[in-house]
Amino acid sequence: MEACWAEAGAETLEAELETESVTPAIVPGSGYLRIVSNMDNTFSDTGTDPFDLAQRAARTLLQAAGLESIDIGLVLGSGWGGAANLLGESVVELPASEVPGFAPSGVPGHSGTLSVVRLDTGGDPRYGLVLGARTHYYEGRGVRAVAHGVRTAAAAGAKTMVLTNGCGGLNPDWSPGTPVLIRDHLNLTADSPIEGADFVDLTDLYSPRLRELARTIDPSLAEGVYAQLRGPHYETPAEVRMVKTLGGDLVGMSTALEAIAARHAGMEVFGISLVTNLAAGISPVALAHEDVVAAGKAAEGRLAELLSSIVKEAVNV
Ligand code: 8IG
């Protein structure tokens, strides 16, 4: 994990930076620069096992909910927050700061809470864990923090992981507000949530069964390949052309790393994007975060209906 700190003196420097509560600094590493900040460093402690931490988070949530296990985990990205209310009655809602390993979301438009919801399926009780506190890769807390929500859901017993996001679209037919099923991804972060020689198969990562099920609910749903880039900047038009050449249809800053962690944890993965904007260069205008949030808000009602229907079907096995 910390191999880039192999140079003598680097650890001392990191320790100093951590204890002194400093402003972010750029520190020379072994042959390249690495950003060190005083952000939440729960995971930088090499003594912390990410799966133990997920177990602890799961216990906290299950205990608060008075449950033995949950059935499905959901990450609700930009535009998808409204689905939480339609899924069913909230059993418990905790701020991220009260659940081990989670940190408040640094992104406007993301809720920063974790809640357990009793799903309105009409049948046997089923429970969902709604993760409103996604950690994005660009926040700099590392891949462990990015994967923590998914691993917590798995540790709490979820067999299915639902990953949603707001993203840019490369297909000009997909106007802002269009939901698109994720068929596959391009992980363009050059990183992985998996550490060490643990070779995980990613064929059919995005469950064909769940995509099929989604299309029984809305046959008009399009499908595409989602490219996760590091962000937090949006792409240049040249990068969008690159993604198109590589076979991508959607560009965003989340999901792929989480999907890998979910597969690694043995879960069935469902991914769905909301195209909130046309990607740079496809769009005739420049991208602004406020427009992206507004497009999400406008589509929220329809998305909430769609997602809650899919989730209730998915857990009714
Ligand atoms: I919302 O156009 C949203 N997220 N990378 N590009 C990337 N992420 C995004 C975009 C986009 N829109």
Q: Is any atom of ligand 1 closer than 6 Å to the C-beta of 234?
A: yes
Cα angle vertex 134, ends 132, 137, to 5°?
170
| Structure confidence by residue, pLDDT tens digits, 49-90 | 999 999 999 999 999 999 999 999 999 988 888 888 889 999
**Could you tell me how many residues make up the chain?**
317
| CA 183 to ligand 1 centroid distance, Å | 18
Q: What phi-psi label fits residue 233: left (phi over 0), alpha (psi between -120 and 50 degrees) or beta?
A: beta
- When mean pLDDT is compared across 118-127, 147-156, 194-203, the lowest value belongs to 118-127
pLDDT value at residue 259: 98
User: What DSSP state is assigned to residue 35?
Assistant: E
Q: Is 255 in the pocket of ligand 1 (CB under 6 A)?
A: no
Reduced to 3 states (helix: H, G, I; strand: E, B; else coil), residue 52 is helix
The pLDDT of residue 239 is above 90:
yes
Contact indicator for 153, 264 with CB cutoff of 8 Å: no
- The more confident residue out of 255 and 317 is 255
235 is catalytic: yes
Question: CATH code for 47-316?
Answer: 3.40.50.1580
Distance, CA of 131 to CA of 258 (rounded, Å): 12
Percent of the chain with pLDDT over 70: 83
DSSP element (H, E) containing 25? strand 25-28
165 C-alpha to center of ligand 1: Å? Answer: 9
CA distance readout (Å), 22 to 25, 39, 104:
8, 10, 20
Determine contact, residues 50/151, Cβ cutoff 8 Å.
yes
Model confidence pLDDT, tens digit, residues 227-236: 999 999 999 9
**Ligand 1 site, residue 180, Cβ cutoff 6 A:** no
* Angle in degrees, CA 125, 129, 135, rounded to 5: 170
* 7, 20, 235, 258: the active-site residue: 235
pLDDT tens per residue, range 92-105: 999 999 999 998 76
By DSSP bridging, strand 160-169 and strand 178-187 are unpaired
Q: Which two tokens stand for residue 251?
A: 């560009």
- The residue whose CA has the least distance to atom 7 of ligand 1 is 252
CA 263 remoteness from chain centre: 13
Asked if residue 8 has pLDDT above 80, the reply is no
Range name among 29-33, 100-104, 207-211 with the lowest pLDDT average: 29-33
Please tell me the residue having the least CA distance from ligand 1 atom 4: 167
C-alpha to C-alpha distance for 131 and 152, rounded to whole angstroms = 10
What are the residues facing 179 on neighbouring strands? 274
pLDDT 10s digits, 153-201: 999 999 999 999 999 999 999 988 899 999 999 999 999 999 989 999 9
Can you tell me which residue has the tokens 């994720």? 182
Place of tokens 């096995």: 317
Residue for token pair 């005739």: 284
Atom of ligand 1 nearest to the CA of 287: 2
| DSSP code per residue over 82-107 | THHHHHEEEEEEEEGGGSTT-----S
The first and second tokens of residue 284, run together, are: 């005739």
Identify the pLDDT of residue 317: 64
- How many angstroms does the Cα of residue 170 sit away from the middle of ligand 1? 11
